[in-house]
Amino acid sequence: MARFDIHRALKILEREYPRWREPVVTRMAREKRDPFKVLISCILSLRTQDGTTKEASQRLFALAETPQEMVKLSEEEISRAIYPVGFYRNKARQIREICRILLEDYGGKVPQELKELLKLPGVGRKTANLVLTRGFNKPGICVDTHVHRICNRWGYVETKTPEETEMALREKLPPQYWLRINDLLVAFGQNVCRPISPLCSQCPLEGMCPQMGVDRHR
């Protein structure tokens, strides 16, 4: 099998990106550039559709925009604001606890180090890397299910989990793509390279993608 040309692929996706619906957390991060809002929006987005995440984020930030303001809300108030995001009661509890920790341990600021972000309740590597890249414009590789699936379909990596994909990309992916790969592949994955029956006939990478693991497509 020919070696996958990551430079060409990402250049093509960059060209096509304006045609696709932009992921909500990416859009909010670009518009506001607030690490706290990126962090909270990303937590809300887990197991939740983009439209629901956007509306829940807007309702919550209308009540509180900083850790200092947010910690004054009760779990019930946060729950009502973010409903119906997935696991909204658990997320409300996590959000209050995150705000408490930020105030007590970090001077009310979101930390800029991966290991510190991972200490926060409900924050995994995907969220932590997204905060670094979108909140602070610092190097990181945010791997969600789209990035994991697509990189394996391309044959660019051969991994079993998103965390394995992140580590493989840290070794292999040219640094100039670290900040952008999540934006491009999430939009690509939501609009074209879908989990089930991807739209290969409409794909701008048709002809260069080996379609690894794709059993059925349109």
- Which residues are annotated as catalytic? 126, 144
The token pair that represents 187 in the structure block:
């939009």
User: What is the DSSP-derived secondary structure letter of residue 134?
Assistant: I
By three-state DSSP, how is residue 203 classified?
Answer: coil
- Compute the distance between CA of residue 194 and CA of residue 15 in angstroms, rounded to an integer: 19
The token pair that represents 163 in the structure block:
């965390």
- DSSP labels, 64-113: -SSHHHHTTS-HHHHHHHHTTSTTHHHHHHHHHHHHHHHHHHSTTS---S
